[in-house]
Structures are given as C-alpha cells and as structure tokens.
Structure 1
Amino acid sequence: MSKSDNKMFWLCQVLGWGAFTLLNLTVRGYFSHFAIGELINSLTLYIAFIATTTCTRWYFKRYLQSDNVAWNFVQVVLISVLTAFVTNLIVSSALFPFFEPLYGVPLTEPMRYFWLALPNLVFLSLLWSITYLTIRRQFLLKSTSAQNSALQSSLKAAQLDILLNQLNPHFMFNAINNIRALILEDPAKARDCLTDLSDVMRTTMQVKQDKEWTLHEELQLVDSYLNLNKLQFENKLSITKSIDEQALSSKVPCMMVQLLVENAIKHGIGKRRAGGDIHIDIRLESEVLTLCVNNSGELNTDADTTGVGTRNIKSRLNILYGEQAHYSLKQVDDMVQASIVIGK
C-alpha cells in the first residue's frame, strides 16, 4: 500500500467516524439535554472505533485473500462482530467506572447496558467492513488496470524492438552483399555504395527511439536504399513515384515503406533477368493514408505472403494501429502490388 493510499485511509477514518460521532452526539444529546456524559460517550466511541477498525483493516489486508467467497463472507461477519465487541469493551471500561458522575444516576445493571449496545455496534462495524472492502476492491481494480496498461505498453515496445532488430540485420546483409559484388568489378561505385550505406545506417539508428516518423523522413531513407540497389541493377531497375505532397507530414512506421521496396526487389526484381519497374504510389484521402509499392513480376504466394518481411509488416501494423491499418499483397495485371492502408 502506497503512502498516498495510507493518507487517504486515515483521512476517511477521521472524517467518516468524525461525521458519525457528530451525528450520534447531536441525536443522543438532544434527548439527554446535552449531558456531559453523552459527549464523553461519543468521543470515547470515536476513538475506540478508529482503533478497532484500523486493526480490522490490518486483518483484511493480511488474511482476506482467499478465493473462497463463502469463507471470506464468514470472516467479514466474524471480524465485524469481534470489532464491535472490542469497541464496546473499550467504551464500557472507560465509562462504567464514572457512570454516576457523568449521568447523575447509579449504574445498576452494567451487563445489560453492554449487551443492549452491542447490536448497534455490530451493525456499524459490519457497515464499515463492507464500505472499506468495496473501496479497496475499486482501488485494486484501478491499480490492476493501470498495471496491465503499463505492461501492455512495455510488451508492445519490446515486440517492436524485436521486429526492428529483425529488419536491420536483414537490410545490412543485402547492402553489404551489394557492395561486396561491386568491389572488384567497380571500386568507385563500391565506394559510392558504401557512402550511401553509411547514410542509411546513420538514419536507421533513430528507429528504435522513434518507432514512427514522418513520411518525408521515410522517403529519404527509401531514396538512399534505392540508390544502393540501382548501383547493382544499373539499367535493369526503373523507379517511378507518385507522391501526394499533403501526405509528406503524415506519421508512418519507421522503415515500413523501405521494407515494401525491399520485398519488391528481393521477391520481384531480383528474380528477373531483365529486371523490372518499381512504382511507389502514396495518397492521403479523407485522413486515410495509402502506401502502395508495385513491382514487375508474378506473385509467389508461398514466399511472398509467408516470409519474414510480410509477417513483420503485419505484426508492426497490428501493434501500432490494431484494426485501423491493413496490409494486402496481390497481383494486378503484370505487377505485384503491396499496399498498406492506415486510417479510419
């Protein structure tokens, strides 16, 4: 239990029993013409209830943890009766020795007074127990909900880190292979490719912190990545773009478009001797962002829809947007179209 919870408990104790004491004193005092004995009685009862219900709270926190509802109910009743009995004992011990000076009449039947007061005290103790346990349950539910939300956020962050860690080595592997292939064939181009790789890796170092960035930043990464691949494919790779300028400030998952392009090259262009075309089409309509990457080739459902890249895309979209984002991969004429829709 936190310090704030303890402060709240004591505030409720003092104010709650204080309000009851004031009401009790007003009612009893009215019929007894506000005798000094009623004031002492009410104050003693106030102190006794604060002490005994605090002990009751300790018991509930320590022992009332069973999943057995029937046993919990029995405990609440028994502890409430015990609380009332001890409270009555404290009040009686404080008042009975001074009964005649306080009330002006001798105390002839002390046990009768004791047992007559007990049912009302049992009712008050039971009411306190029910109120306390109800409030405690609400606080626990709220705390559990907050903890679950925090855990879900941590889990999503961890899952995103895992997915991004899958991307970076895969991307580096392809780029390094490209450079290795160029070193002996064309050292100058290899140096240019290495420069582009350095720029790309410097950009992707931000990915783990950002998770999302603007489409403008994403397209800068895509351009650098395509430059790396154009050095390898030369005239076999043709790039065209259709970008809605209004979409450039939209937030997108880091390296998402790059991954679409990477898949297009790996599963499409890279398998064609003649190479092919890649067309990037991005639109923003009615707050719905559509990212499309089309590549020459034929859709291989076994590889294209079950590979690491496809699973990665679907997992990241689900973590970040839930049902507000959709990924599709289909054949459109002689092109393979991969599209992501983010929005309503």
Structure 2
Amino acid sequence: MKLLSNYKYWIINFFGWILFSLFMLTIDKITYVQDASINKLYYLLSEGVLCGLLGFVLSFVILYFIENHFNIGNYSKVDVYKLIAVVVLTQFIYHGLLWPMLSIPAFHFLNEHIDLTILQKLTNVPHFLVYFVVWLFVVLTFKLVYYINTIKVKQLELEANLKEAQLNTLKGQINPHFMFNSLNNIRGLMLEDADIARDMLTNLSETLRYSLTKSELNSISLEDELEMVENYIEISKIQFEDRLQFEMKTDEDALNEQIPPMIIQMLIENALKHGISNIKSGGKVHLSTLIIDRQLQIKVTNSGTLQKNENSTRLGIKNIEKRLELLYGKNATFTLEEINNTVVATIKMPIV
C-alpha cells in the first residue's frame, strides 16, 4: 500500500504532527510557565503549530525514500544505513529552518528575537528527533503489518491454488482407473457373450459420461452419486452374475448432502475388486448412508478379508484419503477395517 497516494494518510499525518507537537511543546511548557501572558500563550501555540507543520513537510522526504528505495520485506544493512542518513538529513533541514521560522511569532507576539547559541540549539536536537522517531515507528509498523497481511493473503491464495491443482490431479486419476478396470471386464466377455459385452459397453458409456461431467466438480449431491453407483453395479453384475449381491440403505434426509464426486463408486469398486472377486462363491456388498451428529456417514461392507497385495497400487484408497484431506482437513475421516470376515470402509464427513 502506497501511503503517498493515500489521502487518508495525509489527513491523519497532518493533524497527527500538529497535535503531537502541541502536546509535546505547548502543553508541556504551559505546565511550568507561571503567570504566562496571553501573548506568551499565543507564541507557544504558534511554536507547536510551526514545529508540527515543519515535521509534516519533512516527513514527506522520509516517506518518499521508504516507499521508493526501502523494501520492508527485503532490506539490507545498506538500506538501513541509507534510511538513517535520510532521517539525519531531515534533522539538519528541520533545525536549519526551525529557528528562523520561530523568530517570526516571537517578534510578533513577544517583541523578541530568538538568539540561541549553537550549544543551546544542539540540546534541542534530541527533543525534536523524538518526533521523527515516533512518526517513523508508526509508519514502519503500519507497513510491516500490511506486508505481513499481504504475505498471508498470498500464502492462502497459493495454498488454494495448490489444493485445487492436487484435486484436479486426483480427479484425473479417477476416469483412467475406472475405465481400465471396466474395459478389462468387457475384454473378458467379448469371446464369451458378445450381446452381454455390448450391453456392458452401453452401460459403461453412460457411466463414463456421468463421470466426465461430474468429476469436474468438487462436490455433487449424494442422490446423483447413488444413481451412478447403481449403474456401476449393473455393469458389475454382468461380470459377477449371481456371485454379487448388493444391498443399499439410504437415509432420505441425506440425499441432498454434498459429497466429492465418485467417492462412493470408488469404495464399491474397491470392495468388488479386492473382496468379491477373490471369493469363488461370491459375496455381498452393503452400502449405507446416514446422518449422525451433523456428519454424513458412508459405510460400505463387503464379504472378504483385508489382504496385503504387494502388486496393488491402492490407488483408489489413496485417492479417497487425499481428496478428503484436501477438502475437509481433519474434519473428515476414512477407515478401512476387517470385522468378522467382512471388510468395512467408513467415511465420515461434515455436513456443509
């Protein structure tokens, strides 16, 4: 933020210098001047106003240097030395102009001339230097706070952009992963039953159309996701036939809640690939969605056991975990556990 082009700064700076000088000079002197005449009071007021005006004008020199040659976020020792030199220069100018200026109200109100020795003038230097030190401290503090806030905003923007890029990367993994498994299933059916393979391709095209349009979004309604899951189950039943039993229990109050697209489909796909497909007699997959304590709970239970497969990339599981982390942070959880020869995958996410 450029203070030089901010009219509010000039207004505050002007009255700040005047009031500060009146407080430091006029009020201070009045407290120990006894039986002061009205002319003496006029002179003291004039002295405070003139000192404030002179400080206001010379503060422009320092501020001009700060805003054009002093980077508050990346300064060197040389820059600090230059800033000190500029402040010292303004002090020479200040004291060079101050006493001739004060002679005018002194002669007008007191009929006196200010005739101070060099030593007397030098003893006033620390007093007037305080004015500029206070002003400089306020300006640098303001600029530092503004710089820190700017850095925070940029950091939040970078984090948001990074999160969006990571989400897009993860969503880009969904379609190839899903298509690869589905095409493998179709390939296995081509020589066995061309009609069934054709029906499977039709269902696959509908599913892919859905995934391509919805995966661009960060969230969709649970109802839309469940429709996609039902279509995916129909595709899978062509492969598994009677080996697959699917049940779904849905809380109607949760149908309009927003969830990451295709996250349930990936749970179902994982249950079929690593659970049902490894059981000769097949098994059951049960999907339930309900709201508990202001959280949406999605649970997929399938027959089978948790098996460690070194050749498995666990792409689907990693994808789910990372997307939940990016979208909800610690407010969402994902667990995968084995309970009584069944594998239970549970997602809990806050209701938005």
User: TM class, shorter-chain normalised?
Assistant: 0.7 to 0.9
Task: Give the direction of change, closer, same or farther, for the CA distance of 1:173–1:90 in structure 2 (3 Å limit).
Answer: farther
Q: In the alignment, does 2:240 pair up with 1:195?
A: no
Q: In the alignment, does 2:55 pair up with 1:49?
A: yes
Look up the match of 1:332.
339
Q: Gapped runs of 5+ residues in structure 2?
A: 31-35
Task: Give the direction of change, closer, same or farther, for the CA distance of 1:125–1:170 in structure 2 (3 Å limit).
Answer: same
Q: Gapped runs of 5+ residues in structure 1?
A: none
Per-residue deviation at 1:58? 3.7
Percent identity, please. Answer: 29
Do 2:26 and 2:45's aligned partners in 1 also have CA atoms closer than 8 Å?
Answer: no
Look up the match of 2:38.
33
Provide TM-score, normalisation by structure 1: 0.83
Task: Give the direction of change, closer, same or farther, for the CA distance of 1:26–1:107 in structure 2 (3 Å limit).
Answer: closer
Q: CA RMSD in A?
A: 3.6
Task: Give the direction of change, closer, same or farther, for the CA distance of 1:138–1:66 in structure 2 (3 Å limit).
Answer: closer
Q: In the alignment, does 2:319 pair up with 1:312?
A: yes
Q: Which moved more, 1:54-63 or 1:93-102?
A: 93-102
- Of 154, 179, 182, 1:172 maps to 179
Q: Which moved more, 1:259-268 or 1:172-181?
A: 172-181
Task: Give the direction of change, closer, same or farther, for the CA distance of 1:80–1:278 in structure 2 (3 Å limit).
Answer: same
Distance 2:5 2:225 in 1: 47
Q: In the alignment, does 2:97 pair up with 1:90?
A: yes
Secondary structure, counterpart of 1:301 in structure 2: coil
- Of 137, 152, 158, 1:151 maps to 158
Distance 2:53 2:247 in 1: 83
Look up the match of 1:270.
277
Per-residue deviation at 1:45? 3.2
Provide TM-score, normalisation by structure 2: 0.81
Q: Which moved more, 1:137-146 or 1:256-265?
A: 137-146
Do 1:88 and 1:117's aligned partners in 2 also have CA atoms closer than 8 Å?
Answer: no
CA deviation profile, 1:233-283 (whole Å, cap 9, x unmatched): 222221111222222222222211111111111212233343322111222
Distance 2:3 2:178 in 1: 50
Q: Which moved more, 1:51-60 or 1:298-307?
A: 298-307
Per-residue deviation at 1:182? 3.9
- Of 244, 247, 251, 2:251 maps to 244
Look up the match of 2:116.
109
CA deviation profile, 1:210-231 (whole Å, cap 9, x unmatched): 3122211211121122122122
Task: Tell me how many residue pairs correspond in the alignment.
Answer: 344
Do 2:289 and 2:296's aligned partners in 1 also have CA atoms closer than 8 Å?
Answer: yes
- Of 256, 269, 290, 2:263 maps to 256
Look up the match of 2:10.
10
Do 1:83 and 1:125's aligned partners in 2 also have CA atoms closer than 8 Å?
Answer: no
Secondary structure, counterpart of 2:113 in structure 1: coil
